[in-house]
Structure 1
Amino acid sequence: MTHPPSCVYVTHLVAPKYGSTPAECEDAVVVLPDHSHDDMLREPLTVGVCDGATESALAKDWARLLARSAAEQALRQPDLLAGGAAFEQFAASAVGQWEPWLAQYTQERVADGRPLKWYEHTKLAEGAFATLLAVRVDPDRGPRTDAAAPAQGWRWRAAALGDSCLFHLRDDRLLKAFPVAAAEDFGTVPDLFGSRNHDVALLAHRTRFTEGECLPGDRLFLATDALAAWYLSAPDPLAAVRELLEFSGPDDLDDFVDWLNGLRKRQQLRNDDVAVVRVDFEGR
């Protein structure tokens, strides 16, 4: 008897901190290929998740650029998230995109009659900063001799600089947390990817890499630090997962924001921007 090949469903939600607008949100998510959350995917997929550092200028713009660059380049290069020279090349490429972007931004400000102020020039000279979590998921087709066989499982690779986290769940119980494994390990000064950091060897050295295998029924959650810390500090992790599972698509964004604000009101969640990506593996 043959079984249908496994597939994945991917959705993501991004919400600003309480008191901010969506346009001010400094968390960014890019998922490729760009499909609807209710589409079955059987091909490789990549995700970039970035949390812009508020204290730096244009952090939200750098977070968006970096997340897209990570997702695009990881999709083109299957081994990028294994580290080494491929990751250094990605880092150099991402940093190389910043100055052209900034030049265009500066020109647009002038055209709009809003040229940069002297203090903005000073801040921009320091660069923009963000955390980075990049993930690639591939169907596992078994031995090379069986490359044409349908995938039953999936393999994933991840790279993380900073404290945006990946959680691998099986039966909705935590198998792996990366790169932060416990709530008390979150610090106030995470490692950051700078838009003007041309020392790509140092960036690669500070980045952590890992991989794993997912079976049908498993889930991956990717989350920026506030939501990741909430989950890791939950007294009942299984109940926390079930709360997250209430939100399964973009139509749930308003309810998701209401839920986040409830957690904030009860002082269970730090008031910060939130991004979460959910990857469900299905099949048998």
Structure 2
Amino acid sequence: MTGSPSCVYVTHLVSPKDGSTAAECEDAVTVLPDCSHDHMLRQPLTAGVCDGATESALAKDWARLLSRTAAEHAMERPEMLAGGAAFEKFASSAVAQWGPWLAEYTRSRVAEGRPLKWYEHTKLADGAHATLLTVRVDPDPGPAARPAGETDGAAGPAWQWRAAALGDSCLFQLRDDRLVQAFPVGAAAEFGTAPALFGSRNHDAGLLARRARFAEGRCGPGDRLFLMTDALAAWFLSAADQLSAVRQLLEYSGQPDDLAEFTRWLDGLRESRHLRNDDVAVVRIDFEGR
């Protein structure tokens, strides 16, 4: 937007699989600061995107706790996105919160007259699991990033993003409606049935840090970042006409007040067998300015 101050707009949407309710959705998103999608952000922002593993107990609850903890930690201690000891501290912090949460959940079940069954205890002993994508975006005083091969043109405002991922929730950077970076999965063929997962009872923080992947990049005005859980990410990377896929994303992901329209679009993709019937979470970050 020529003549406007540099800023960032953030939109996020979460939709359950066909046949499930919002309360059953195992995808979770936390964006900080928590503000309206039409609010102009000029300060750092963070996002946590998690996809709970259906086969584990209380996956949706762990996904919500983990996404919130990741976004908060990335805001307060951005060095976690460089990996190593800083990421290990984050991992330990997230796992440490599961025990108290589970104890409170167990007490509430008893108070409601629905104590845990023996088979629930058995599954809970294995812990809950989820994928994790954490992103932080900061204003960058340097010149805006240029497309590959372009060196002319005036320098403009820029933003730096840093990301950590464990599993197959993905970040895509778009410029001029073209994909310029994908992380941590770069091709549809790379999606599998057993992605790396962050376990609620995994106290080996070093192992989690070694399994995590890290990336960074820079964005200029007009660029966009999309953060997606695996089903939508796989659809995007496998699209025969990627420009058409980008335009669909832009059309249906920009209005969080119209979740019904977003869900109808997803249902159409499912009916045509282009999208696997799974929960979907997406965060869209638009960079604007002179």
TM-score (norm 2): 0.93
Residue-by-residue CA offset, 1:14-55 (whole Å, 9 max, x unaligned): 000000000000000000000100000000000000000000
> Counterpart in 2 of 1:153?
158
Query: 1:79 Cα shift?
Result: 1.6
Aligned residues: 276
Whether contact under 8 Å (1:5, 1:152) holds in the other structure is no
Residue-by-residue CA offset, 1:80-125 (whole Å, 9 max, x unaligned): 2111111100000000000000000000000000000000000000
Query: 1:246 Cα shift?
Result: 1.2
Secondary structure at 1:23 match in 2: helix
CA distance in 1, matches of 2:142, 2:249: 32
The one-letter code matched in structure 2 to 1:267 is R
Q: Which range is displaced more, 160-169 or 5-14?
A: 5-14
Secondary structure at 1:261 match in 2: helix
Whether contact under 8 Å (1:9, 1:39) holds in the other structure is yes
CA distance in 1, matches of 2:230, 2:61: 18
CA distance in 2, matches of 1:212, 1:189: 28
The one-letter code matched in structure 1 to 2:243 is L
The one-letter code matched in structure 1 to 2:19 is G
> Counterpart in 2 of 1:234?
239
Q: Which residues of 2 match residues 1-284 of structure 1 at below 5 A?
A: 5-142=5-142, 152-247=157-252, 248-284=254-290
Moved over 3 A (4+): none
Whether contact under 8 Å (1:6, 1:216) holds in the other structure is yes
Taking structure 1 as reference, are residues 152 and 236 closer, same or farther at Cα in structure 2, changes over 3 Å only?
Answer: same
Structure 1 gaps of 5+ residues are 144-150
Secondary structure at 2:258 match in 1: helix
Structure 2 gaps of 5+ residues are 144-155
Query: 1:142 Cα shift?
Result: 3.3
CA distance in 2, matches of 1:46, 1:107: 33
> Counterpart in 1 of 2:151?
none
Q: Which range is displaced more, 81-90 or 102-111?
A: 81-90
The one-letter code matched in structure 1 to 2:283 is V
Secondary structure at 2:222 match in 1: coil
Query: 1:72 Cα shift?
Result: 0.3
Residue-by-residue CA offset, 1:212-242 (whole Å, 9 max, x unaligned): 0000000000000000000000011111011
Whether contact under 8 Å (1:224, 1:274) holds in the other structure is yes
TM-score (norm 1): 0.95
Q: Which range is displaced more, 233-242 or 44-53?
A: 233-242
| RMSD, matched Cα | 1.3
Secondary structure at 2:163 match in 1: strand
